[in-house]
Amino acid sequence: MAKYLTIEQFEGCDDSIVKYLDEDTVKENDNNMVVVGSKEHILNLQLVMATSSVNHEYARLEYNETNNTDKKDELLQYMADCRFKYEEAREELSCVNPLVLETFEKDLVMQKQSTMVHYHA
């Protein structure tokens, strides 16, 4: 069954993001100009989401294993930063291409479940 985009899926999105339909719209990305909604833009958002998600997960594992209060505080801040980066990229991707977001998040959950196995002795 095919999925179709509707205008309702873009409600609440920043107008500058929704303008990705205009091929002249660009976004600065580490001193490179990228067309918003282009394959490169979507891949960059997915990369941010995947990296921050995995980094958060490793930090959470380390947090659970440490007894050092200072280290726990540092890891909590790091996890909050990872969460912020993930949510920022997720929000943008939800406006640029909600169907890609839906598929990517399902794949990301499956990857984490299969690779982030942690055994306690």
Percent of the chain with pLDDT over 90: 56
Residue 120 lies in a domain: no
| Residues contacting 18, CB < 8 A, separation 6+ | 10, 95
Tokens 């949510």 appear where?
87
pLDDT tops 60 at residue 56: yes
Cα 89 from Cα 47, distance rounded (Å): 9
Q: Is residue 110 part of a domain?
A: no
- Whether 4 maps to a domain, the answer reads no
Quick check: 32 pLDDT over 50?
Answer: yes
**Segment holding 113, helix H or strand E:** helix 98-115
Biggest CA–CA distance in the chain, Å, is 56
pLDDT for res 30: 56
Give residue 116's pLDDT.
73
Per-residue pLDDT at 97 exceeds 50: yes
Q: Which domain holds residue 45?
A: 18-101
**20 vs 30, more confident:** 30
Are 101 and 24 within 8 A, CB to CB? no
Higher pLDDT, 91 or 22: 91
Q: Is 113 part of a structural domain of the chain?
A: no
C-alpha separations of 110 from 22, 67, 70, 115, 116 in Å = 34, 30, 33, 9, 10
Asked if the structure places residue 24 within a domain, the reply is yes
Domain-embedded: residue 13: no
Per DSSP, 38 falls in state S
Domains in the chain: how many in total? Answer: 1
Kindly state whether residue 96 falls inside one of the protein's structural domains.
yes
Q: What's residue 13's pLDDT? A: 59
**Between 104 and 26, where is the model more confident?**
104
Cα–Cα distance for residue pair 37/4, rounded to 1 Å: 16
Inside any domain, residue 82 = yes
Whether 31 shows a pLDDT value over 60: the answer reads: no
